[in-house]
Amino acid sequence: MEEFKRLTPYREALGMMLEDIKEIPDAEEVPLDEALGRVVAEDVASPIDSPPFDRAAVDGYAVRAEDTFQAREYSPVELRVIDEVPAGGESKARVEPGTAVKLLTGVKIPEGANAVLMQEMAEREGDIIKVLRPVAPGQNVAMKGEDVRKGQVVLKKGQILRPQDLAILKSLGFKSVKVRRKPRVGIIVTGSELIEDFNEEALNRGKILESNSIMLRGLVKQYFGEPVFYGVIPDEEKLIGEAIRRAREENDLVLVTGGSAFGDMDFAHRFVKLLFHGTTIKPGRPIGYGERVFVMSGYPAAVFAQFHLYVKHALAKLVGARNYEVRVRARLTERTPSQLGRVEFVKVWYEDGKAQPVKKRGSGIISSLVESNGYILIPEDSEGYLGGEEVEVVLY
C-alpha cells in the first residue's frame, strides 16, 4: 500500500486518470424511442435528400414565375387553374404558360412550375385567378435537399442525442441508431454508521441515513452510465475487499464512498493500486484513483464535487462523448474568497446572467447542492473572485 506524501495538483491528477481510462469500443443499435441521451457510436450520413423533392412552402398556386412579373394590384395577371392537389397528393399536370396548379403546403411542385404564389396574393373566380403581385423564381419553394443532402453527415460520432437529433433521424427514415454501450458503474458505500432505511431508534443511537448511493446512481445515469449498487458495506476490511474485487470484475468503473483517508478504519485504498491519492480540490481533497476505481469521500457534498471534477470526465471518456458540459458566462453577485493552493469547487445559483454563491459550506451539507444549479472553479493560484467579476459557470 503506497502512501502519497503530497497532494497531486488537480489538473495533473485529472490528466493521469484520463490517460488511464480507455474508450469502450462496444456499440449497440437501439430504437430511436430509446436513444435519448445516448452517445452516437459513428458518424451518421443521410441516405436521402431532404426534402426529397421541390415542395410548396405555403398554401397557394404553383406557377411559372415569369408569368407573374407584370402583375400589380391595379393591373392583375390572369392565370387558369388546371389542377388542385390535396395534402399528400401529386399533380400529373404540367404547368404551361398561362396556367397554375392549386396546392397546399408540403405538396410536390408540379413540372413546369418554379414558384408558388401565396393564395392571399390571388383573387379566384371559377378556374381563373387574378395574380395581384409578382413572385420570383424559387419563391415559396422548399428545394430538394434544402435541409439535408444525400450523403451529408448529420450527426457526428460522440454526439449526445437530443430530441431534435432524433427528429432529424426520423425525418430521414431511420428507425434506430448505433450508440455506445452504457458503461456499467459499480457503486459501493462503506461505513458502519450508515443505515439505508429510516429508523428513529437507530438515528438516536448515532446512526446516519445513507444518501450517497441514490445521488451517485442518478449522476451515473445522467452521464451515460448504468449504475450497479452493491449495498452499504460495514467498515470491515474483508467485506470491503470482497465487494471491490467483485465490482471490478463486473463493471467498467467502480465508485467507493467512505474511508478515502489513510486512517486505521480506511480500507478501500488497500485493494487498489492508486495512481494518486489526495488532490488539491476543495471539498473532496482525499479522493484516490487507480485501476478504474475511484476511492471517494463519505460526505455527500464532497462526493458530488468529486464526481463532477473527475468521475463524469471518466464516463465521457469511456463513451467518447463530446460537448457534455453546459458552460455559461455570468457575473458574480458577491466576493468569493479562496485559499491559495486549492482548486475551490464553489456551488452557485445561476439565473439571468448572474451567479449567486451558495453561502452554506461543508462537505456534509446536502442542502447546499439542492440550492445550487451549477459551480465555478477557483484555481490554485487565486485567492478568489471579486463581486461583479465575470466567471464561467458549469451547469448541472
pTM: 0.89
- Taking every pair of Cα atoms in the chain, the longest distance, rounded to a whole number of angstroms, is 97
Select the CATH number that applies to the domain covering 326-395 from these four: 3.40.50.720, 2.40.340.10, 3.40.50.10800, 3.90.320.10: 2.40.340.10
Cell of 46: 443521410
Whether 388 contacts 325, CB under 8 Å? no
Helix axes 312-319, 10-20, angle to 10 degrees: 30
> What is the per-residue pLDDT across 262-291, written as a single tens digit (0 to 9) for each?
666 678 888 999 999 999 999 999 999 999
What are the boundaries of each domain within the chain? 10-24+182-319, 27-50+151-180, 55-142, 326-395
Q: Which of 122, 176, 167 is nearest to 148 (CA)?
A: 167
Please state, in angstroms and rounded to a whole number, the distance separating the CA atoms of residues 284 and 347. 13
- Kindly report the CA angle at 378 between 374 and 382, in degrees rounded to 5? 165
C-alpha cell at 111: 413540372
pLDDT band at 355 (very low <50, low <70, confident <90, very high): very high
CATH number corresponding to 27-50+151-180: 3.90.105.10
pLDDT at 263 (0 to 100): 64
CA–CA dist 283, 10 (Å, integer): 12
The CATH architecture one would assign to domain 10-24+182-319 is 3-Layer(aba) Sandwich (3.40)
8 Å CB contact between 362 and 301: yes
**Cell matching residue 297:** 469521500
| Predicted confidence (pLDDT) at residue 2 exceeds the cutoff of 90 | no
Q: Mean pLDDT for the chain? A: 96
How far is residue 375's CA from residue 377's CA, in Å, rounded to a whole number?
Answer: 7
Report the top-level CATH class of 55-142.
mainly beta
Which DSSP state fits 210? -
pLDDT band with cut points at 50, 70 and 90 for residue 327: very high
pLDDT in tens, 144-189: 999 999 999 999 999 999 999 999 999 999 999 999 999 999 999 9
